[in-house]
């Protein structure tokens, strides 16, 4: 074989290897990307290997054997490439050190702006329409159960584990797309795409498989150019996309991928936040690029919960510099081991407790961080950590072996209260618990949310705490259009409809003060107070 042909083949082979490496790993062409640095250094090594093979080939052609001597004077290209490789490696190491908190603790501490707020001003008394009563694991069980009932699709598709929690028209829901069940199922279905996504109402547990007029063509489960990550890379070769890309739907139910773009604020690789957001239509693949401050209002998740908690940890740990965070640890605070979501101001906020770095069993407060804007609110409420509250709730049902989910933080009678579900070994919700944050020995358990809240209010009342929030209750009067007794979990409820009023009112006879409802019939006049929870509203007092 002629030398020219051999060199052409070697060059083509090297180019093919480089393309395959890029096509598979998809590094951003950006000096802030570690993957890009490794790609360049790997390319230099590949060129050095090709050069060495070429020189060896020349020696074999001239002498019949390999007599290649690695003299830097004789192989200047190899020398140049070796020096360039060492320079790049040194620049990467130095850049990593200069980007670290060791030399930039103050800059890391200032990445997050904290605003101290009052708990009762911001967190109004509980409205169960905006409270996610299920966690992600429970949502996944409902999604799998729903998928199992769809005989025509269950053999071809599975439910993805995204389960993004968002607000849709003020209601917390989790949404997740379907994925191809296997590469073979992808091959037979990819022409039409993924036909549906799951939508789970986190307050009512209603699970819906939403069928699409056109299938999802761009997703994480696609292969080749329609794979979401590859599709984004080829359109935005310099963008460094976040570790998490979120599946969301707009107010019309159209599926999108929300793709945060990393921004490094400290040196080459440090101080990660989000600078831009690419919104990708999951059906058409059309992408729209936004500055992070200009994303549409309906988008709920731009910053991942893990990133937001990391940013707070920087803020709490580096108040007095890096070495204080390692040695003396004066005034060092960190987030607790877990988080949950709260719907507030039509946005999704990450909730987590704040505790001492020493890991004691008490919180100094908690933070709410907006997942769209990164706005951070700190509330100084001292009390038990979430883990302590979970243990306290589990202690009340230890004979049943139920396990508590990570709690939500609610305002009940102006008292910060942990609310959690208690699940059995199969992951099914069996009971609910409320635990007072400041006095975590105050625990109320109920088979239903209403029973749990009633028990908790009685507990507060016993200890001299009564709600002063009269805005939580609404007066209504009118003519009874219909009244229907219903038995729910062994308790009789009366469902009442008032003429001219679209709401349905729930009279729970486990409350002895409401027993007088049995005397009423359709056509009678009635007056009562209820709590507005949308659709089915619990009656609090009967006049």
Domain end: 463, 486, 506, which one? 463
Q: For 251-287, write each residue's pLDDT tens digit.
A: 899 999 999 999 999 999 999 999 999 999 999 999 9
Kindly report the average pLDDT of the chain as a whole number: 88
pLDDT at position 211 over 60: yes
Position 59 scores a pLDDT of: 60
Domain-embedded: residue 308: no
SS (HEC) of 342-392 = EEECCEEEEEEEEEECCCCCEEEEEEEEECCCCCEEEECCCEECHHHHHHH
The lowest-confidence range among 403-407, 449-453, 517-521 is 449-453
The reply to whether 20 and 165 lie within a common domain is no
The last residue of one of the domains, among 275, 302, 329, is: 302
Domains in the chain: how many in total? 5
User: What is the enclosing helix (H) or strand (E) of 338?
Assistant: none
Are 211 and 231 in contact, with CB atoms under 8 Å apart?
no
Residue 491 domain flag: yes
More confident residue, 463 or 228: 228
Is the pLDDT higher at 347 or at 360?
347
- Kindly report each contact of residues 282-286 with a partner whose C-beta sits within 8 Å and lies 24 or more positions away, as own/partner: 282/177, 282/216, 282/217, 282/218, 282/219, 282/247, 282/255, 282/256, 282/257, 283/193, 283/212, 283/214, 283/215, 283/216, 283/217, 283/218, 283/254, 283/255, 284/217, 284/218, 285/217, 285/218, 285/226, 285/231
Judge whether 447 lies within some domain: yes
pLDDT tens, 150-163?
A: 888 989 999 999 99
Q: Are residues 297 and 168 in the same domain?
A: yes
pLDDT exceeds cutoff 70 at 188:
yes
The pLDDT of residue 492 = 87
The confidence band for 535, taking pLDDT boundaries of 50, 70 and 90, is low
pLDDT digits (tens, 9 = 90+) for 460-493: 988 877 665 555 678 889 999 999 988 876 788 8
Q: Which two tokens stand for residue 257?
A: 């991928």
Closest C-alpha to 452, from 418, 401, 405, 503:
418
Q: Are residues 377 and 412 in the same domain?
A: no
Is the domain of 37 the same as that of 115?
no
Neighbours of 467 (CB within 10 A): 16
Domain presence at residue 184: yes
Check residue 278 and give its pLDDT.
98
In a domain, 312, yes or no: no
Please state the pTM of the whole predicted model: 0.83
Examine residue 313 and state whether it is found in any structural domain, yes or no.
no
Check residue 433 and give its pLDDT. 96
* Residue matched to tokens 């008394």: 125
The whole-number average pLDDT for the span 300-323 is 96
Question: Residue 392: pLDDT band by 50, 70, 90 thresholds?
Answer: very high
| Residue 443 pLDDT | 95
Q: Per-residue pLDDT tens for 292-311?
A: 999 999 999 999 999 999 99
Give the position of tokens 């599975």. 158
In a shared domain, residues 267 and 356: no
User: Which residues are CB-neighbours of 28 under 8 A, at least 6 positions away?
Assistant: 35, 36, 233, 237, 238, 239, 240, 241
Residue where one domain finishes, among candidates 381, 398, 422:
381
Are residues 372 and 390 both part of a single domain?
no
- Residue 244: pLDDT band (50, 70, 90) is very high
Which segment of 21-25, 57-61, 241-245 scores lowest on mean pLDDT? 57-61
pLDDT-based confidence at residue 394 (cuts at 50, 70, 90): very high
Q: What is the pLDDT of residue 300?
A: 95
169: domain range? 136-302
Same domain, 341 and 451: no
Residue 311 lies in a domain: no
What is the pLDDT, as a whole number, of residue 73?
56
Note the helical H segments in 150-225: 151-154, 183-189
Question: Residues in the chain, how many?
Answer: 543
Evaluate if residue 81 carries a pLDDT over 60.
yes
What's the rounded Cα separation, in Å, for the pair 536 and 129? 10
Q: For residues 66 and 49, give the distance between their C-alpha atoms in angstroms, rounded to a whole number.
A: 15
- The percentage of the chain sitting over the pLDDT mark of 90, rounded to a whole number, equals 58
Same domain? For 173 and 298 the reply is: yes
Q: Is the pLDDT of residue 8 over 80?
A: no
**Are residue 391 and residue 526 in the same domain, yes or no?**
no
Q: How high is the pLDDT of residue 170?
A: 77
- Specify whether the CB–CB gap between 335 and 363 falls below 8 A: no
The most confident of the ranges 118-132, 205-219, 470-484 is: 205-219
Query: Do 404 and 279 fall within a single domain?
Result: no
Question: Please, are residues 271 and 265 in contact by the beta-carbon 8 Å criterion?
Answer: yes
**260 assigned to some structural domain:** yes
Higher pLDDT, 533 or 274: 274
Mean pLDDT, range 307-334, rounded to an integer: 94
Is 408:340 a contact under the CB 8 Å cutoff?
yes
Asked if 140 and 270 sit in the same domain, the reply is yes
pLDDT at position 427: 87
Q: Are residues 72 and 144 in the same domain?
A: no
pLDDT mean over 392-416: 91
């Amino acid at each position: 074989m002629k030398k020219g042909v051999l060199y052409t083949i070697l060059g083509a082979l090297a180019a093919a290897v480089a393309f395959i490496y890029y096509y598979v790993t998809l590094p951003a062409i950006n000096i802030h990307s570690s993957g890009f640095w490794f790609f360049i250094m790997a390319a230099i090594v590949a060129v050095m290997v090709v050069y060495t093979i070429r020189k060896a080939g020349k020696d074999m052609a001239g002498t019949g054997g390999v007599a290649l001597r690695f003299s830097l004077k004789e192989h200047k290209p190899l020398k140049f490439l070796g020096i360039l490789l060492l320079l790049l490696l040194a620049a990467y190491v130095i850049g990593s050190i200069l980007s670290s908190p060791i030399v930039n603790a103050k800059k890391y501490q200032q990445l997050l702006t904290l605003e101290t707020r009052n708990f009762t001003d911001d967190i109004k008394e509980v409205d169960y329409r905006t409270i996610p009563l299920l966690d992600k694991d429970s949502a996944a069980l409902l999604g799998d159960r729903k998928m199992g009932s769809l005989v025509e699709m269950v053999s071809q598709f599975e439910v993805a584990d995204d389960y993004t929690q968002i607000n849709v028209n003020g209601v917390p829901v989790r949404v997740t797309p379907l994925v191809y069940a296997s590469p073979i199922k992808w091959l037979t279905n990819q022409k039409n795409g993924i036909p549906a996504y799951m939508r789970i109402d986190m307050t009512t547990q209603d699970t819906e498989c939403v069928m699409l007029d056109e299938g999802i063509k761009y997703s994480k489960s696609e292969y080749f150019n329609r794979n979401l990550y590859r599709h984004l890379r080829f359109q935005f070769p310099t963008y460094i996309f976040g570790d998490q890309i979120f599946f969301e739907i707009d107010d019309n139910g159209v599926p999108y991928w929300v793709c945060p773009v990393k921004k490094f604020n400290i040196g080459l690789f440090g101080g990660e936040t989000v600078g831009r957001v690419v919104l990708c239509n999951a059906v058409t693949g059309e992408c729209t690029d936004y500055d992070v401050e200009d994303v549409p209002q309906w988008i709920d998740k731009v910053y991942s919960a893990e990133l937001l908690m990391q940013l707070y940890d920087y803020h709490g740990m580096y108040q007095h510099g890096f070495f204080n965070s390692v040695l003396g640890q004066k005034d060092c605070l960190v987030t607790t081991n877990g988080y949950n979501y709260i719907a507030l101001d039509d946005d999704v906020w990450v909730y987590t407790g704040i505790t001492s770095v020493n890991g004691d069993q008490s919180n100094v407060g908690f933070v709410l961080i907006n997942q769209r804007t990164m706005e951070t609110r700190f509330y100084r409420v001292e009390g038990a950590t979430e883990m302590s509250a979970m243990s306290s709730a589990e202690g009340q049902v230890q004979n049943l072996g139920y396990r508590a989910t990570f709690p939500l933080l609610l305002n009940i009678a102006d008292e910060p209260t942990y609310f959690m579900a208690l699940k059995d070994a199969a992951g099914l919700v069996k009971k609910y618990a409320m635990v007072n944050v400041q006095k975590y020995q105050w625990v109320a358990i109920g088979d239903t949310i209403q029973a749990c809240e009633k028990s908790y209010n009685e507990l507060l009342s016993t200890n001299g705490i009564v709600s002063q929030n009269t805005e939580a209750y609404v007066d209504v009067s009118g003519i009874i259009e219909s009244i229907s007794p219903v038995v729910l979990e062994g308790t009789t409820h009366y469902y009442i409809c008032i003429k001219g009023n679209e709401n349905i009112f729930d009279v729970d006879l486990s409350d002895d003060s409401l027993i007088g409802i049995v005397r009423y019939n359709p056509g009678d006049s009635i007056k009562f107070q209820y709590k507005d929870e949308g659709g089915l509203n619990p009656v609090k007092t009967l006049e």
